[in-house]
Chain A
Amino acid sequence: GAVVSQHPSRVICKSGTSVKIECRSLDFQATTMFWYRQFPKKSLMLMATSNEGSKATYEQGVEKDKFLINHASLTLSTLTVTSAHPEDSSFYICSARGAGLAGTNEQYFGPGTRLTVT
C-alpha cells in the first residue's frame, strides 16, 4: 500500500527559531499534499494544499509567511514553521494524494509530527 512518512516525528524548538517538517510519499508520486494541524483533543484543520511545482494554497486564517510550504518534487513536501512561538505547538499531519489515484479522492496520511515550542 501507499506509505507516507514524516520527519521528524517529534521536535522541540526554542521560541523564535524555525523548524522544518518533511512529508514524503515513499512508494508513489504525490501530485498533491495536504498539511493539517491538530490541536490537543481537537479535530484536524486543513492548513494548506500543496501541488508539486506550484505555490501552496493556504486556508483562510493561516499565515503563509509563517508556515512556508514547499513541494519541490513529486515525493517531498516541506512545512517550515518560521519564528516559532509556543502557540504554534501542535500536531502537524500531512497527507498525500497520488497521480494515479486521481478521481478517487484517496489520501494517505503520514504519522504526524509533534512540535513543541518552548
Chain B
Amino acid sequence: AQSVTQPDIHITVSEGASLELRCNYSYGATPYLFWYVQSPGQGLQLLLKYFSGDTLVQGIKGFEAEFKRSQSSFNLRKPSVHWSDAAEYFCAVGMDTGRRALTFGSGTRLQVQP
C-alpha cells in the first residue's frame, strides 16, 4: 500500500521569504503525485501534479515541485511567499491504474508572518 509523509506539521515563514514543503512517498511503482491547498473551511484546490516527463513541474500561484525518484520525494517550493499563501497544504499520491482514490499526507499548515 502507498503512503505519504509530510514531516512538517506547521511551518512559519516571513512574507517574501522562500518556502519549501516536504513530501515523501512510499510506493512500489511510479506514482502520480499531487499537491493541494486548502484554506480554512474550504475544499481542495489543485496546485500541481506530476504524472511523467520533466521532474520539475510548475503549478498555479507561483508554486513548483520537483520529483526525485531516488529520494522518493516531491517537495513543493515557492521563491517568495505572499500572505495569501497561508493555508493547509496536502501532498497526495495515486496509483498507476488511476482507478483508486488518492492517499493524502497529514498536511502542513503554513503561517505567513508580515
Taking Cβ atoms with an 8 Å cutoff, the residues of B that contact A are: 32, 36, 41-44, 46, 49, 51, 90, 94-107, 109
In whole angstroms, what is the CA distance A32 to B98 when docked? 11
Chain B contacts for A91, CB-based, 8 A: 41
A74 at the interface (CB under 8 A from B): no
Taking Cβ atoms with an 8 Å cutoff, the residues of A that contact B are: 6, 32, 34, 36, 41-46, 49, 91, 93, 95, 97, 101-107, 109-112, 114
In whole angstroms, what is the CA distance A65 to B78 when docked? 45
Could you tell me if A49 and B43 are in contact, using CB atoms closer than 8 angstroms? no
Could you tell me if A34 and B101 are in contact, using CB atoms closer than 8 angstroms? yes
Provided the pairs A43-B90, A43-B106 are in contact, do residues A109 and B101 lie with their beta carbons within 8 angstroms? no
Distance of B71 from chain A, by nearest CB (Å): 22
In whole angstroms, what is the CA distance A31 to B17 when docked? 43
Provided the pairs A42-B106, A43-B90, A43-B107 are in contact, do residues A49 and B100 lie with their beta carbons within 8 angstroms? yes
Could you tell me if B104 and A49 are in contact, using CB atoms closer than 8 angstroms? no
In whole angstroms, what is the CA distance A34 to B103 when docked? 12
Chain A contacts for B32, CB-based, 8 A: 104-105
